[in-house]
Amino acid sequence: MREIAAEAGVTTGTLQHHFSTKEEMLLFALEHHCRRCADRLRARSGEGTPSPRQMLSAIVTELLPLDEERTAETSVVMAFVSRAMTDPGFAEHYRAQRKILLDLLSEQFERAATPHPSVAATILLQVIDGMRMDCLLLGPDAVRIDAVLDRLLTPAPSSNPPSSTGTPHEKR
């Protein structure tokens, strides 16, 4: 907490007055990030009635580290995910946040009449995780938001739904 206090330009005591543990502080930072992201999405959707594709693009854009603010938010998310791998309480928060995002994405895929909207939402959320790493390590030009959305919004030639059961290797 000393490092965080120093970075924030406050004393450790001031920080501890607001947060008794590092975990409490990380959860606060994550909730703050989620609120800011939701506020930005609401502002975008308030500019008329965006199409499902426009909303999906806005959601993806908000979740990627494409500017200084979202890069800082991505750092919080990565710290949170790292902690969730070993802390059941954080893992539960992760599942709850993920469900909110999946529901939001599924709603847009339903509006776009995409077959199997929940599967498309799951795929997009998994792709976003990879895109975040590429943005951080390779730069924003490494991601192709439009290409991903084109692929997910274009109906597949097969009418068989993708499998949502079985082992992860069978879900390919």
| Residue 124 lies inside a defined structural domain of this protein | yes
CA atoms of 14 and 156, how far apart (whole Å): 56
| Residue 165 lies inside a defined structural domain of this protein | no
Total number of domains in the chain? 1
HEC sequence for 42-100:
HHHHCCCCCCHHHHHHHHHHHHCCCCHHHHHHHHHHHHHHHHHCCCHHHHHHHHHHHHH
Range(s) of the domain holding residue 73: 18-155
- pTM for the predicted model, two decimal places: 0.75
| Residue 161 lies inside a defined structural domain of this protein | no
Find the CATH number of the domain harbouring 128: 1.10.357.10
| Residue 170 lies inside a defined structural domain of this protein | no
Where do we find the tokens 């501890």?
A: 16
In this predicted model, what pLDDT tens digit does every residue of 134-158 receive, in sequence order?
Answer: 999 999 999 999 999 999 998 766 6
Please give the DSSP secondary-structure letter assigned to residue 36: H
| Residue 138 lies inside a defined structural domain of this protein | yes
In this predicted model, what pLDDT tens digit does every residue of 10-67 receive, in sequence order?
Answer: 566 665 667 777 778 777 877 777 777 777 777 776 667 789 999 999 999 989 999 9
In this predicted model, what pLDDT tens digit does every residue of 69-109 receive, in sequence order?
Answer: 889 888 888 888 898 899 998 899 889 888 988 998 999 99
Reading the block at residue 51, the tokens are: 């199409």
